[in-house]
Amino acid sequence: MRRVSITVNGAEHVLELEPRELLVYVLRERLGLTGTNVGCDTSSCGACTVLLDGESVKSCTVLGVQADGCEITTIEGLATNGSLHAVQEAFRAEHGLQCGYCTPGFVMATVGLLRETPKPSEDEIRHALEGNLCRCTGYHNIVRAVQAAAAEV
C-alpha cells in the first residue's frame, strides 16, 4: 500500500492505494465517481478519459499511484454552479450522444482537445478523437458538437 494525495474536481483526497490499482477504479470505486466508464481492457475505447493536470488521459492506463500530487477532472467536475460546460451543452444541442456510455470520455477528450487546439478543423477533430470509440452515433454529430463547442469556447 502506498499513501497518495490526489485532487479530484477540486477536492483533495489522501488515499492508501495498492500499487496495481488503476486510476479509473480509484475514481469509480474508492471515490464513488462512477461517471467515468470502463469500456475495454486494452486502452482502446477511451470511455474512461479524464483530465490529468489539464491533459486528457485514459484513466485505465494510469496507475492510481502515478496520479500522486496531480489534479484530476472527471465528468462530474465539469459543470459549474449547475450549468453545463460548453462542451456538454454542445453535445446535447447537436445530439452527439445516444446510449451515452462513451460520452463522458468524449466530452473530456474534447475539453482536452480544445484547450490545445481552440479552433480545430474537421480533420483535426476526427484525428484527435481517434482514441475514443462510439458505437451509436457514427461520429457525425460528435464532430458537429466539437465544432459547435469550439465556436462557443
Binding-site ranges for another protein (CB under 8 A): 28, 33-42, 44-45, 47, 74-76, 78-79, 84, 88, 91-93, 95, 97-104, 107, 122, 125-127, 129-143
DSSP 37-62: ----SSS-S-TTEEEETTEEEETTSS
Q: Of 71 and 76, which CB lies nearer to another protein in the complex structure?
A: 76
Q: Of 66 and 98, which CB lies nearer to another protein in the complex structure?
A: 98
Minimum distance from residue 34 beta carbon to another protein (Å): 4
Minimum distance from residue 63 beta carbon to another protein (Å): 14
Helices (H), the chain: 23-25, 86-93, 103-116, 122-128, 140-152
Q: Of 69 and 132, which CB lies nearer to another protein in the complex structure?
A: 132
Q: What Cα–Cα distance (Å) separates residue 125 from each residue in 74, 138, 141, 145?
A: 21, 14, 12, 10
Q: Report the alpha-carbon distance of residue 131 to residue 109 in Å, rounded.
A: 9
Q: Is 10 left (phi over 0), alpha (psi -120 to 50) or beta?
A: left
Q: Of 69 and 140, which CB lies nearer to another protein in the complex structure?
A: 140
Minimum distance from residue 85 beta carbon to another protein (Å): 9
Q: Of 18 and 69, which CB lies nearer to another protein in the complex structure?
A: 18
For residue 18, give the amino acid letter: E
All cell numbers assigned to 3: 499513501
Minimum distance from residue 115 beta carbon to another protein (Å): 19
Minimum distance from residue 106 beta carbon to another protein (Å): 9
